Amino acid sequence: MRIAIYADFVCPWCYIGKRRLERAEALWRGAADRLKGVNLERLWRPFQLNPTMPAEGMERDAYLNWKLGGPERVAFIHDRLAKEGAAEGLRFAFDRIARMPNTLAAHRLVDWAQRRGANGDALAEALFAAYFAEGRDIGDPGELAALASDQGLPGPEIESYLRGAGGLEAMREADVQARARGVNAVPCYVMGDSYALSGAQPPEVFLRMFEFAHDKSAD
């Protein structure tokens, strides 16, 4: 069964949701015999939280203060995210993040990889970790090419692709189509184009979606 994951790589809840989804898949693999042998395939789909972000991004503290209402509110939300992340084995190094990037290039990278049969999930993990744990600018084609190289992908070819216009309009259109389908926040998970779940839900909620989609497909 395919899970289409609508996410943005600067969304901390998308990173937390990824971990919870992975725990749900582990529960699935340990479920009843009737479920064994049914593979779950993840397909990452683009959604930009900030589609009007300048191509060069902007200073993150200024953006968050504007978006969330000031330093106290930012600190409160960061504290909550740190606790939620720690429960999933994640450490958010918010103090290391200087830029809020435009993520269109990151989405183009994952799309490029998936269309060539590469592991989009591993690349998504690398992007989340680079941004939230290392504070790297995942809007910069050079940084993205380096991340891709670490995953065994051709870095120079990818950097050239990202500095050009390849896939640019396709990703913008995919983002528009996602919103037209009702995806207005991320993370959002869609199974079989029919069953959707929004938010970084607990693993047990994901598991119920898996079971429901599986049973419906068997009817």
The mean per-residue pLDDT over the stretch 20-45 comes to 80
Per-residue pLDDT band for 32 (boundaries 50, 70, 90) equals low
pLDDT at residue 154 in the model: 97
- pLDDT in the model for residue 100: 97
Q: Are 16 and 205 in contact (CB under 8 A)?
A: no
Give 144-197 pLDDT, tens digit per residue. Answer: 999 999 999 999 999 999 999 999 999 999 999 999 989 999 999 998 777 899
Residue 155 to residue 173: CA distance in whole angstroms: 25
What is the DSSP annotation of 64-99?
Answer: HHHHHTSHHHHHHHHHHHHHHHHHTT----GGG--E
Distance CA 44, CA 97 (A): 24
| 2-218: CATH number | 3.40.30.10
Tens digit of pLDDT for each residue in 74-95?
A: 999 999 999 999 999 999 999 9
Q: What is the structure's pLDDT at 62?
A: 95
What is the average pLDDT across 49-74?
A: 95
Q: pTM of the prediction? A: 0.94
> What is the structure's pLDDT at 135?
98
153 three-class SS: coil
pLDDT of residue 51: 92
Q: Report whether pLDDT(28) > 90.
A: no
**Residues 209, 197: contact at Cβ < 8 Å?**
yes
Residue 7 backbone phi and psi in degrees, to 5: -155, 165
Instruction: Please tell me the predicted confidence (pLDDT) of residue 30.
Output: 77
Pair 199, 187: CB distance under 8 Å: yes
